[in-house]
Amino acid sequence: MRTANGHSHIWKYLSSVFLSTSLLVRGVLASPQSNPVIKVQMYNLASVDPQVLTDAENRATRIFRATGIDVLWFNCPLSESEAKANPICIAPCPRSRFAVRISSEMPAKLATGTLGVALHETEIYVTIYYPNIEEMSRVGIAPPAQILGHAVVHELGHLLLGPIPHASVGIMRGGWTKEDLHAMTRGALLFTPRQTAVIRQAALLRTEAEASVGYSAVRRRRPDQPPECPLGDSACKRSGRRRGQN
């Protein structure tokens, strides 16, 4: 499968060096006063306007900051030569770092309106389907940057919360209504207090594990596996990959 703008080769190359990791958590957790930091590598395969992407990242940062989590964003290049010059974009991924691909391609069996998927088995991979972001923005309530930022947070929320059902309210709803889009524009589409506690603890565990004992590789993705699912389609089905907010 080719990704947007003919970037299938670089996505395969980059994904082949990502590692799904297994960590042994030891030691004392960080001070409650210290915000855990998650790192997010963004791969703009849909050629989203840079300003829209920046605005989306800023909105996502504010949502996570409300949970007591800080975010570092890395907008990774798409050419192999540039990627090699940016070590963090091709280095092994510990569990405190996530890889988000923004795609313009829509899988044939994708449910109508799905904005993204999070692959629980990998613990780090997210794909956002930008055509559906644009389609939702045509309702005329929230612009693409707001919807994109919230969709990224929703999918990362799945990875941090674990395999739980969608919520009935807030940013983790299974389908956003017009009322949710209005809440989004007011900065009020957020995690619930219970979700906030779980997400912050998960981020603390991930960052503390990386800082205290490092990480070890348990799986590499084969270069010939399709970019839609880093572990292959059969693994996607087995893992019950979490679809986005729709």
Cα separation, 220 vs 178, whole angstroms: 41
Task: Report, as an integer, the average pLDDT of 139-150.
Answer: 97
CA–CA separation, 155 and 78 (whole Å): 22
Residue 44 has pLDDT above 70, yes or no: yes
- Mean pLDDT of the chain, nearest integer: 77
The per-residue pLDDT for 81 is: 77
Q: Which is more confident, 233 or 132? A: 132
Q: Are 163 and 242 in contact (CB under 8 A)?
A: yes
- 77 phi and psi angles, rounded to 5 deg: -70, 160
pLDDT score of 154 more than 90:
yes
Alpha-carbon span 190 to 198, nearest angstrom: 14
* Tokens standing for residue 149: 């930022």
Q: Helix (H, G, I), strand (E, B), or coil: what is residue 93?
A: coil
Question: What SS3 state is found at 69?
Answer: coil
In this prediction, residue 190 carries a pLDDT of 97
Q: Which fold has domain 4-225?
A: Collagenase (Catalytic Domain) (3.40.390)
Which strands sit side by side in the sheet containing 97-103, from one edge to the other?
70-75, 37-44, 97-103, 125-129, 116-119, 242-243
Name the residue among 101, 82, 103, 84 with its Cα closest to residue 40: 101
pLDDT at 86: 78
CA 38/CA 93 separation, integer angstroms: 12
Q: How confident is the model at residue 132 (pLDDT cuts 50, 70, 90)?
A: very high
| Average pLDDT estimate for 197-213 | 81
Burial state string for 50-63 with b = 16 or more CB within 10 A and e = fewer than 16: eebbebbbebbbeb
Tokens representing 200 are 């912050």
CB 92 within 8 A of CB 21: yes
Confidence at residue 33, expressed as pLDDT on a 0 to 100 scale: 55
Q: Tally Cβ neighbours within 10 Å of residue 9.
A: 15
- Min mean pLDDT across 93-107, 185-199, 229-243 is at 229-243
Give the H/E segment covering residue 125. strand 125-129
| 184, 158 Cβ separation under 8 angstroms | no
Query: Taking residues 167-194, what's their average pLDDT?
Result: 95
What is the per-residue pLDDT for 126? 95
Q: Which of 27-31, 81-85, 109-113, 188-192 has the lowest mean pLDDT?
A: 27-31
Q: Which two tokens stand for residue 124?
A: 């780090």
